[in-house]
A and B are shown apart, each in its own frame.
Chain A
Amino acid sequence: MIVPIGHVLLLALILLLLGIACVLARRTLIMMLIGVEIMINAAGLVAVAGSALHRQLDGQILAVFLMAMTAAEVAISLAMVVYLRRRKGTIIADAFDGMKG
């Protein structure tokens, strides 16, 4: 490996924290979804890095699956966002408090 594994893991950690911060801080659903995407990609990065480190294909396969799954997830999530927007006229997450006890 050209890049040391430590750097890759550090990048992944930064990406993960950015994702978490995005999900926690942003109020619109779209931005929260983007945060989730960033977190997933951080995980994918770790998988690819691990695959390169150990010279095994499993990690890359996992990354491909992650991409496919992410595509599916985004499709469903965006459909729900469209639906929610139609229902309440907003996509601010805190507006949907139907589960309030």
Chain B
Amino acid sequence: MNPVLLALIPLLPLFSAVLLMLFGLRLPRLAVGTLAVGAVAASTVATLLLWPAASGDGLLVVLYAWAAVTGLDLPLTLHFNPLSAPMTLMVTLVSTLIHLYAVAYMAKEEDVVRFFALLNLFVFAMLLIVLADSLLLVFIGWEGVGFCSYALIGFWYQEGKNADAGRKAFLVTRVGDVFFGIALLWLFALTGTLSISAINAQAVLLPAATVTAIGLLLLLGASGKSAQLPLMSWLADAMAGPTPVSALIHAATMVTAGVYLLCRFFPLISLSPTALLAIATVGGLTAFYAATCALAQREIKRVLAYSTMSQVGFMLLAVGAGSVGAAMFHLITHAFFKALLFMAAGVVIHLADGENDLFKLGGLSRKAPQVAILLVIGALCLAGVPLTGGFFSKDAILLAVGAHPETAYKILWLLGIISALLTAIYTFRLAYLVCAGPPRTAIGHVASPGLVAPLWPLALLGLLAGLLNLPPLLGGGERLMHFLGPYAGLQPEVSHLAEFGQWGLAALLVFVGWRIARSRWSKQPAAQEGARIDFFRSGWQIDTLIATVLLRPFSALCRFSSEKIDKVGIDGVIAGLAQCCRFGSSSVLRMATGRLSTAVTSMTVGVLLLMVWGLWTLLLR
């Protein structure tokens, strides 16, 4: 029973997606939504039913014995273990709520079948990444989420801007995928297997330099999917998609895939301190970079996008510090509150008739108090207000980083602290600009219950997620860490004093952030302008930088190849040869008059010459 159940978890959304693609247009609207939500909900139920099987070594199921020949055994396997089980539950649960929300959100949309088919396919691909033990399946899922995100970001493709954003997401993540693909093939060449658990078991036998190189390749692959430096430029533009897509891609699933991949490979990566430090550095820098960008954004969803980037940076920081447990903890809490924030933002935009400029919103607390409460709950979690889910998970990360013996990690810890402060500032800025003050845009209608209802469970989960992994200091048992067991990575030894200090510092940061935000944005906020703000708003001019460093030299090279090498060089040689031939032939051409007399005369002369020559040789003999 269990193996079937495990296979059903990813296959149910796939089945629903295929069904929608084939027959969706003939189904009534209600059936389309029900099918899409039902499939994901059924996956959630299957995960819950399967939960007991996750303990210990977990459940390994061979889906299909692909390429089973002598000396080569590449079964397509799923692995339900303490690491993948919480992730699966999170993905299915959050996806179910997002699907529910999407039914209400897309109520007036024409093309709802395509939307839900892609959404279900996306969940399938994500579950494949999460559950697969075979790297081949991981790669299929990896490319699957890439494709689905492309199609979903560009869902309203009639507008060129959206289609461009989809293409950008696809291409930038593809850069990371190339590195992931190289790592994958290298691992296969080294170990002869594609099973993650088998590779991890053999990891100690690999040479140190190889492990470092593979770790860095995996990091680059993860950077593409998780929108980390230097492959982060796509995420902010990805907001062009419908809000449920933003919530699904940029909260629960796709962006966490990179972090999750590194967590899966942690036994391998942990053998290389260099790779770990690189991961932590990328994470820390991205956390800081994205937080500064989020501070300057005007559009509500772009703030959240940059905040996602920043939070995923925190997760990488945790992986780099060796604490997979903290990373997974933050991944899960972040999925709850970020999905909540995105969907609440979607409701806000919906209420304001498509207005998404922070400085034109406002006064939500009076006009739509329920939505405002939800948004504020999300903001509290994101800012890391004590006792919310985000507080515990972020502090677990900062504790792990701070407790790391190496000096480099102290700097990263400081970077993390600054990022946490910036997070608090931009989060409260968002909350104040949207909720406080007078309404700057008329809020005409009321949010439908279908839009708001799915947010409440997320709000509760976000607030109470700390209970999942309550530190012993507060009487908790660190249940997530214990559940993860050997998968939790290295646990830092932290004194109680340091833990209290960290908490005090975190609370102080939140307080300071709140005061700053309150003093600047609670009353009559003036829209920030100026060159400095523009620099941060455009993400440190990263697109311009990429254009100058990569795109323009590349197009210059292409132009050079086209105009100089191809048109002048290669075409020149060929044209020259043709010219030679034409010249040669034109000189011979004069002989070919086509007249019988010429032919006969030349033949006669030729024969006579031959005869003379023959006679000559005869006579000489």
Binding site for B on A (CB under 8 A): 20, 23-24, 27, 32, 93-94, 96-101
Contacts and interface: CB of A to CB of B under 8 A. Distances in A.
B592 A101 contact: yes
A27 B589 CA distance: 23
A75 to B, nearest CB: 20
25 contacts: A20-B604, A23-B600, A23-B604, A24-B600, A24-B604, A27-B597, A32-B600, A93-B595, A93-B597, A94-B595, A94-B596, A94-B597, A96-B594, A96-B595, A97-B593, A97-B594, A98-B594, A99-B594, A100-B592, A100-B593, A100-B594, A100-B595, A101-B589, A101-B592, A101-B594
B interface, over-half SS? helix
Most chain B CB atoms below 10 A, which of A27, A100, A101: A101
A12 B94 CA distance: 112
Interface of B: 589, 592-597, 600-601, 604
Nearest to A94: B595
Contacts of B596: 32, 93-94, 96
A73 B592 CA distance: 26
A20 B593 CA distance: 21
A97 B597 CA distance: 10
Given A24-B597, A93-B597, A94-B597, A99 B604 contact: no
Nearest to A97: B594
A101 B595 CA distance: 11
Contacts of B604: 20, 23-24
Most chain A CB atoms below 10 A, which of B589, B596, B600: B596
Contacts of B600: 23-24, 32
Contacts of A96: 594-596
Nearest to A100: B594
A23 B597 CA distance: 8
Contacts of A98: 594
A95 to B, nearest CB: 9
B73 to A, nearest CB: 69
A96 B597 CA distance: 10
A32 B600 CA distance: 10
Contacts of B592: 99-101
Nearest to B591: A101
Contacts of A27: 597
Most chain A CB atoms below 10 A, which of B589, B592, B594, B597: B597
Contacts of A23: 600, 604
**Minimum-distance CB pairs A-B, first 7:** A100-B594, A101-B592, A97-B594, A99-B594, A93-B596, A101-B589, A94-B595
A99 B596 CA distance: 9
Contacts of B595: 93-94, 96-97, 100
B88 to A, nearest CB: 79
A27 B598 CA distance: 12
Nearest to A99: B594
Nearest to B586: A101
A101 B600 CA distance: 17
Contacts of B597: 24, 27, 93-94
B48 to A, nearest CB: 87
Nearest to B594: A100
Nearest to A25: B597
